[in-house]
Structure 1
Amino acid sequence: MPVLILGLLIFLGIHSLRIFADDWRNRQRARFGELGWKGIYSLISIIGLVLIVYGFGLARQHPVPLYVPPLWLRHLNALFALLAFVLVAAAYIPRNHLKAKFGHPMLLGVKIWAVGHLLATGMLHDVLLFGAFLLWAVLLFIVSRRRDRAAGAVYPAGTLAGDLLALVIGIAGWAVFALWLHLALIGVNPMA
């Protein structure tokens, strides 16, 4: 569990700079330049992610049950994951209504993904992983929306083409992950 916790601290820590140390982050971007900062940020993120994956695998070898969710919640999680994939796709597809309305659909996707997994799993390592991501996404969404309001940020209006593209890409990504990659990478068949 310590490796998982360390990975979460590193990964979510670097991704929380906008929440807790935005001025420091801006100074580092100026100091290292945009590409230099992105390189450092990416390296730290990758280290954190590798530690999360490795630590999660170690923690799964010694499970500590906290609760046993009913089977139907596991199936409901597939729907949560589908919504999450569409929201994440909407974060990168220009001119869609989800981005126009919420500004930060990826963070909404992370929240839905985390809640779905918290409902569907009940081991301590699951609660730690998904609970940490849920807390991070909630805090960053609040801070980001507050920053948007203060700056008077307006996102481009959504279009039907943008909506359809986000929907198609999100569903395709979900299908590939749910039907093949989840089992191959994580060892759990979410459709079983």
Structure 2
Amino acid sequence: MGTLILILGVALWAGAHFFKRLAPEKRAEMGEAGKGVVAVALLISIVLMVIGYRMAEPTVLWTTPFWMVHVNNLLLLLAFYLYAVSGLKTNLHRRIRHPQLSGFKAWAVGHLLVVGTLQGLILFGGLLAWAVVSVILINRANRDWTRPPEAPAWKEGAAIVGALFLMLIVGQIHGWLGPWPFGGAA
């Protein structure tokens, strides 16, 4: 039952995000109210993913060596950095068209490396597939990309500091709610 709930959560996440890309006329008809509908669908999808992941019987598909935790953490630091790059519109954002989705993909790959269970594959593999398809759909819809303007160099430093800070905060919360993400004991 948990696996089915998890699959429904991932499917709802993808469907809510794809709605604008796959049915733009219908989404436009909904106006501002459509944002609320999508937000509620996304919230429900997250709840379903959490409940489904926790309920699913862990079926081990592979085991990972201990050092893979460090590879995962590097990918997550990259993910946080790419989110900061997007928010601050740094010069790296001039080179990467979709920094948030690139960061999301790094997050998903990192988790796939260390979570070798069926529910991990469904959750992180499904979300990775969503991010890849999202980039494809966005690029098809908006073939002309205007690079953001040149940014001051301090923004890169701020993105790095922000990524490190978020990594520590989210890592601590992750440790409270689930496994300690930094290796060793908490």
Same fold (TM over 0.5): yes
Give the corresponding residue for 2:174. 182
Identity %: 34
Give the Cα separation in 2 of the matches to 1:109 and 1:11.
Answer: 17
Q: Is the 8 A contact 2:19 2:27 kept in 1?
A: no
Secondary structure, aligned partner of 1:63:
coil
Give the Cα separation in 1 of the matches to 2:8 and 2:28.
Answer: 28
Give the Cα separation in 2 of the matches to 1:45 and 1:169.
Answer: 25
Q: Map residues 1-192 of structure 1 onto 2, 5 A cutoff.
A: 1-19=3-21, 21=22, 24=23, 26-34=24-32, 36-59=33-56, 62-94=57-89, 96-148=90-142, 150-178=143-171, 180-185=172-177, 187-192=178-183
Normalising by the residue count of structure 1, what TM-score does the alignment of the two structures yield? 0.87
Return the offset for 1:141.
1.7
Return the offset for 1:76.
1.4
* Structure 2: tracts of 5 or more residues without a match: none
CA-to-aligned-CA distance 1:44-78 (integer Å, 9 cap, x gap)? 1101111011111111xx21010111111122111
Q: Is the 8 A contact 2:20 2:27 kept in 1?
A: no
Q: Report the AA paired with residue 167 of structure 2.
A: W
Give the Cα separation in 2 of the matches to 1:91 and 1:181.
Answer: 23
Secondary structure, aligned partner of 1:53:
helix
* Structure 1: tracts of 5 or more residues without a match: none
Q: Report the AA paired with residue 93 of structure 1.
A: L
Q: Report the AA paired with residue 120 of structure 2.
A: D
Give the Cα separation in 2 of the matches to 1:168 and 1:106.
Answer: 17
Normalising by the residue count of structure 2, what TM-score does the alignment of the two structures yield? 0.89
Give the Cα separation in 1 of the matches to 2:174 and 2:119.
Answer: 17
- More helix as a share of residues: 1
Give the Cα separation in 1 of the matches to 2:31 and 2:149.
Answer: 28
Give the Cα separation in 2 of the matches to 1:120 and 1:84.
Answer: 16
Residue-pair matches, total? 181
Q: Is the 8 A contact 1:74 1:121 kept in 2?
A: no
Give the Cα separation in 1 of the matches to 2:28 and 2:68.
Answer: 47
